[in-house]
Structure 1
């Protein structure tokens, strides 16, 4: 395999990382390869997933740095040393400061478990997103893959997929279904589109070339 070099940033179990690894094994990520996995937490299970797939894992533990800016700079240095082309945030739980976006403009993808601009921004992550969707009473939720900018969850949208909410949903059941039906499908597709040079960003619009 050859093409663009991808780094996946994680903080925990790495279910979205696994979706990417599985897609890569099936040949669905064209013109790119996952070259590194970087965790903000020592002992994160995502690092085991990377090791099983033969992909180098690195740690930039948040507790090792005085603040998010110092951690961000260390991560950028590592990514540049590894000659990374695309950064994917897959359950990365820390806010990266502007140095990351400046180093990788329109080259960082994030998956968010809602249909942005609903239920997004500061404080909307993990189970909180699904709790908010159920509390609001929306009938449809879903997932969004977007480019990362300095505004949390505010970057140009690449792909979205809707997921119906059921009467008996709990935040946990909804979280699982959004992952299975939307996140795990959208993220590998968006990564492949980027690696195939099929995405162009025009202001807030992301165009996908045939």
Structure 2
């Protein structure tokens, strides 16, 4: 069984997609061992509790320095003994020590087709605002491994979503979630849980 820890900051819609997929068998061979949020008011913590998944808050605001936070945060992650760490809308910079310790064991979902509209400053609605401002016809989402850069790790899965006339950032964000994020994030976890994902020279291969 793949032991999965999920890191969240907000409402937890991607977390819910993962929980639902584990419960309905779309994700196999996987156990959700814990949820950690940097925000004590994150509804994602309630979602975890509703499904008897251990959940806790570790916030940078509760520590005098980022070094202290990073130390405790990493300890809390280590306690869960995860085989895979999923960033599901987690808006905190991952400590480099954690990235090296869990090399190719941390994945992130980003609401664009990387390398478009990604990197520092591109998160949440900002991604969709930028896409609409540029006038692109196709957007989407990407699941990738996390490395020391921002949205620069090896790409696992991508799914395209068409932009429609009259889209607002909020409408487009919802469509990308429904048509892409909530599908490819669970799929990526299932692939990893069943040993179908390998990384070589910065590129991902998926066994069929």
TM-score, normalised with respect to structure 1 = 0.96
**Aligned-pair CA distance for 1:67:** 4.0
Of 111, 123, 126, the residue aligned with 2:124 is 126
**Aligned-pair CA distance for 1:71:** 2.4
Of 147, 150, 153, the residue aligned with 2:148 is 150
Q: Deviations over 1:141-195 (max 9, x none)?
A: 0000000000000000000000000111000000000000000000000011111
Which stretch of structure 1 is more off in the superposition, 92-101 or 17-26?
A: 92-101
The 2-side partners of 1:190 and 1:16 are apart by 13
- State the superposition RMSD in angstroms: 1.0
Q: Deviations over 1:49-80 (max 9, x none)?
A: 00001100011012012344432332221121
Does structure 1 residue 16 correspond to structure 2 residue 17? no
Runs of 4+ residues over 6 Å off in structure 1? none
The 2-side partners of 1:161 and 1:71 are apart by 35
Of 179, 199, 202, the residue aligned with 2:200 is 202
Of 80, 83, 88, the residue aligned with 2:81 is 83
TM-score, normalised with respect to structure 2 = 0.97
- Identify if the C-alpha distance between structure 1 residues 190 and 67 changes in structure 2 by more than 3 Å, giving closer, same or farther: farther
Of 42, 52, 72, the residue aligned with 1:74 is 72
Q: How does 1:1-210 map to 2 (within 5 A)?
A: 3-210=1-208
